[in-house]
């Protein structure tokens, strides 16, 4: 794994061949599997849950699975995803009544914990839980759908959160999610991100390796 992680979002994969799709994208050089859980309540869309995560583990996937919870409430799913083989579990602070407790529950369940900030959410809410975070995920689109356009104001937020992480001294990954492609990945990395979710840019391409190689070439220019 390089220090820059590429995390394909399986939201844009072919669900009828999910195991094969994940194998292919990992063989093409991806680092992490980004697993978008949507509940038709916190977001309008509805995707998949812990059983599908477990099915990927049973299929033989050993790469980290980065579970992005777009669900409300959050806590009941934490133990289920931990048992299903999640590596990271991230959730939106506005979807949990007790954010600090939910973060602690994730770590107590043996997973790495993270918070996800929607485009209009201020990073202020991170300040008092930095010691409980392994990942901060900044949404660069409004959550719920793949294939949306990157919201440019995210770049300033990436810079701001990078400073917060560096000042904290904690080892926290800074992930960005939504509208990322080989065209804008370098700018996002230069602002301070180290983990890049890409769904449609990878899975809508004919050759996953070409796209991931292209992203790595762009990242090498930082």
For the annotated catalytic residues, the residue numbers are 36, 177
d(CA 61, CA 13): 15
Element (H, E) at 135: strand 135-139
- Which of 34/157 has CB closer to ligand 5RP? 34
Stretch that binds Fe ion, among 19-27, 98-106, 156-164, 170-178 (CB under 5 A): 170-178
Q: Which does 154 bind (CB under 5 to 8 A by kind): ligand 5RP, Fe ion, none?
A: none
Q: Which residue has the tokens 């759908």?
A: 145
By the rule CB under 6 A, 199 interacts with ligand 5RP? yes
Residues in binding contact with Fe ion, number by CB under 5 A: 3
By the rule CB under 5 A, 194 interacts with Fe ion? no
Distance in Å, CB of 99 to ligand 5RP, minimum: 19
What's the first-to-final CA gap in the chain, in angstroms? 17
Q: Which does 198 bind (CB under 5 to 8 A by kind): ligand 5RP, Fe ion, none?
A: ligand 5RP
Residues 31-90 that bind ligand 5RP (CB under 6 A): 34, 36, 68, 70
Q: What is the CA radius of gyration of the chain?
A: 16
d(CA 117, CA 166): 18
> Which two three-digit tokens encode residue 140?
């660069």
């Amino acid at each position: 794994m390089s220090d820059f992680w590429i995390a394909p979002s399986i939201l844009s994969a072919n669900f009828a061949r999910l195991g094969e799709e994940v194998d292919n994208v990992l063989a093409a050089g991806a680092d992490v599997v980004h697993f978008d859980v949507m509940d038709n309540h916190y977001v309008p869309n509805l995707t998949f849950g812990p059983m599908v995560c477990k099915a990927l583990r049973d299929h033989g996937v050993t790469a980290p699975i980065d579970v992005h919870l777009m669900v409300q409430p959050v806590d009941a799913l934490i133990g289920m995803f931990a048992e299903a083989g999640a590596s990271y579990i991230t959730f939106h602070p506005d979807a949990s009544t007790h954010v600090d407790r939910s973060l602690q529950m994730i770590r107590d369940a043996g997973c790495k914990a993270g918070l996800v900030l929607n485009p209009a959410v201020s990073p202020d809410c991170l300040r008092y839980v930095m010691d409980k975070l392994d990942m901060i995920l900044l949404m660069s689109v409004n959550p719920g759908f793949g294939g949306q356009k990157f919201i440019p104001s995210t770049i300033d937020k990436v810079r701001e959160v990078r400073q917060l992480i560096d000042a904290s001294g904690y080892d926290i990954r800074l992930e960005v999610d939504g509208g990322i492609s080989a065209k804008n990945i370098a700018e996002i990395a230069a602002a301070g991100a180290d983990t890049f979710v890409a769904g449609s840019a990878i899975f809508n391409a004919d050759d996953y390796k070409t796209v991931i190689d292209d992203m790595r070439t762009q990242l090498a220019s930082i």
